[in-house]
Structure 1
Amino acid sequence: MKTYYLSNEQMLQNFGAMFENLSKEGDLKTELAEYGYDDAKIAEGKALYDEARKTFDANIKETREETSASLAFQEKYQNVQKKYSTHRKKARIVFEDNEEALRQLKLKGSAARAIATAMEEMRAFYQLLDTTPNLLTPLK
């Protein structure tokens, strides 16, 4: 026997159609009443459907907002990453003979790839340049 699954959206559409039909057709209400689904039970089911629909729609909206925010973040992060990469390369060239500066600015090895680590690396790089004029001056 084949198992048949419905998505949340399909179930909500089916229930929505059922409640729409119930509001328009008296015969369907009469038939359901024979199985113990009186107006009170139907109203209870409709309230559950309305709440589920509201929650589903809110979830869809939130997912869209998350996707939009994620895309905006990725775009900004890539722009910052490009600038940092340029500044890092420039600093490596300027300080290639200065081991202390290379160590302080963490210019040895490759840049971090993980976003959190890379952002911390960028923050430390720019903060050190900002607070140490003798490192910043040669880069101007």
Structure 2
Amino acid sequence: MKMHRDILVIEDDEDDRDILKEIFRDLGYKNNILFFSDSIEALEYIKRPEIEPFIIISDINMPKLGGFELRNIILEEEVLADKDIPYIIISNAQDEYSVKEANKLSIQGFIHKGNDYNKYKEKIKNLIDYWKENINTFSSKK
């Protein structure tokens, strides 16, 4: 089932990746969690025909290719758009521009990282549990 496929996390900041690794370890999901520090590397991975991840969790502000730009590419390339991968933003940004841009790009979730580990872990848990429960409702692929 799609809900057991890989979770892709695109985060250029090493400290933020370490926090997310700890969160996913604490939560104990059976999914393979793949971390990318570079969104271009993640894009090349996603383009492989056999790759159909469960979900993409991406930071916004990254060198080379930001999270919004990556989402736009996924929406524009038919072969990628057809993979029906939920796209979630994680960021410290809470500005009006970021929220509007996320809405324009049909981002399926926007999580503020914040400074409280337990709240951040709870947000990630709620997000993953939501998509595990509802993935077949929103996706044509089962």
TM-score interval, normalised by the smaller of the two chains: under 0.3
Query: What TM-score results when the alignment is normalised by the length of structure 2?
Result: 0.27
Name the structure, 1 or 2, with higher relative contact order (CA <8 Å, separation 6+): 2
Higher gyration radius (CA): 1
Query: What TM-score results when the alignment is normalised by the length of structure 1?
Result: 0.28
Which has the larger strand fraction? 2
